[in-house]
Structure 1
């Protein structure tokens, strides 16, 4: 087995950034989901679930940590990392409410014009990140703006199996993985507890519950009228009301991942 692809999402629910290599630490891939859009009046997080046009928003992370925003037909905007303790804004993501720095009025105006409503851009410094959902992981495990866990892994064979059942091609990026593994049987990742990629060990925490976001074409931003692939997934990947596809992971320690590295199941 090998690591066939690496993706990060610098801005939650915006376009993916494909990588050949990445450092990995407590919060997952370097720069992954450290930025987020929230409603201007109440701080509630925004995603493609309600705003599918976010799939067309390019948000590139550079090594200084800045965010480069881009969308077809508009000039790009570079947003510097705000000070970790200034201009704090209360935000809510699922059941978590906490305070993080706001990225300023210029970014807010640029993004509000694109989204079509009053939004703010926020950044999460490492010292303001969240704990994992209750009952999962270790006490020192943390997550930035991902829904619940730092890393998501999907087996290529699992997608291939789904494509065969749906009967048409499906992009892996519908499922927004960080790590794609080739060479395993379909859904082999369901049985893994610990794996090693290169020299880095990772814990498999729990399956990923899928939602309407998987029905949005990442290239066009359009929803599938037949609600695929969610409709097919419900026929064979549903458990206790949740549709499961992919596995959430946490890295034990820090390291570097590179596409092509061998993947070993430890447990």
Structure 2
């Protein structure tokens, strides 16, 4: 029976994440997941796609603070539950969202390390960003994720991809929230509804992949894999896919070791063979 083996949160969009053994789930997904985000001078979100060095900024949560750390810089501490700052409209893909600024000190710290003008913003608990209605209910919401509150990947999907590449990539390259073991590779392609610790999840759409998994999270250097192999094995309608986006039906708590109940399956998304490679 499938089991939840890894949980990751990414407090700041596109910075390094935090692996946790258990974590609360609120209305927007995992608590504090992508609550913060970097923007450029046009108020557009920034990610490793444009600034690979973002991968080198680590995050941790201690004593009601979010701590950012980077090579050759003193740590930056931010309050977890701030409600001050100036309101600012920001853009995440096609969505315009309301955010609040984090202050000049945070902006300077990040701009100095990344060697690019940027600002740090956060989403308050009161600000609502809805999920694409083509795949979601009107009540579904998310923070500054690319579009969905959860990304689910199975361990054996990565094992199959690594075997096909003849490499040993770590799961962190693919930035999942939930990692599941004890199922076939790409079994998640066919999952439509699952339950973990009484929290129901809907999996309406596979995750198309960009260049971020080609970035080594330890060095920020960019290679060609896994996109070459994904193009060969996981391509559909001119995009490549790895993992499944997911929406949740209630708040609660998740912990490593919890059973993943497969409530409903369908045809694989994308419509590729799910036979292990």
TM superposition score normalised by structure 1: 0.95
CA RMSD in angstroms comes to: 1.4
Aligned equivalents of 2:149, 2:202: Cα separation in 1: 11
2:244 pairs with 1:262: no
Match for residue 230 of structure 2 among 229, 233, 249 = 233
Could you tell me how far apart the structure 2 residues matched to 1:214 and 1:255 are? Answer: 30
Indicate how the Cα distance of structure 1 residues 117 and 15 shifts in structure 2: closer, same or farther if over 3 A, else same: same
Once the two structures are superposed, residues 89-146 of structure 1 have per-residue CA deviations (whole angstroms, 9 ceiling, x without a partner) of 1211101112210001111111110111221100001221311124111001001000
Helix, strand or coil at the partner of 2:137 = coil
Which portions of structure 1, spanning 4 or more consecutive aligned residues, are displaced by more than 3 angstroms?
61-64, 81-86
Which residue number corresponds to residue 8 of structure 1?
9
Give 3-state SS (helix, strand or coil) of 1:193's partner: strand
The answer to whether the aligner puts 1:52 opposite 2:49 as a matched pair is no
Partner secondary structure for residue 126 of structure 1: coil
Q: 2:275 maps to what in 1? A: none
Contact (CA 8 Å) 1:82, 1:102: kept in 2 or not?
A: no
How far the C-alpha of 1:171 sits from its partner, in A, is: 1.1
Residue ranges of structure 1 left out of the alignment (5+ in a row): none
Q: Do the aligned partners of residues 109 and 86 (structure 1) sit closer, same or farther apart at CA in structure 2, a change above 3 Å counting?
A: closer
Instruction: Give the drift of 1:57.
Output: 0.2
1:157 corresponds in structure 2 to 156
Q: Give the secondary structure class of the aligned counterpart of 1:266.
A: strand
1:80 matched to which residue of 2? Answer: 79
The question of whether the paired residues in 1 share the 8 Å contact of 2:21 and 2:255 is answered with: yes
Structure 2 residue matching 1:110: 3-state secondary structure? helix
Kindly indicate whether residue 68 of structure 2 is the aligned counterpart of residue 69 of structure 1.
yes
Greater Cα shift, 143-152 or 196-205: 196-205
Q: Which of 237, 241, 244 pairs up with 1:247? A: 244
Cα gap change, 1:85 to 1:78, in 2 (>3 Å): closer
CA distance in 1, matches of 2:200, 2:109: 40
Distance (Å, rounded) in 1 between the aligned partners of 2:23 and 2:127: 22
Structure 2 residues without counterparts, runs of 5 or longer = 265-277
Secondary structure at the counterpart of residue 128 of structure 1? coil
What secondary structure, in the 3-state scheme, does the structure 2 residue paired with 1:218 have?
A: coil
Gap change, CA 1:26 and 1:63, over 3 Å in 2: farther
- Measured at CA, do residues 128 and 240 of structure 1 come closer, stay the same or move farther in structure 2, by a change above 3 Å? same
Whole-angstrom distance in 2 between the partners of 1:58 and 1:174: 14
2-side partners of 1:49 and 1:63: how far apart?
Answer: 31
- Alignment map for 1:18-29 (pairs within 5 Å): 18-29=19-30
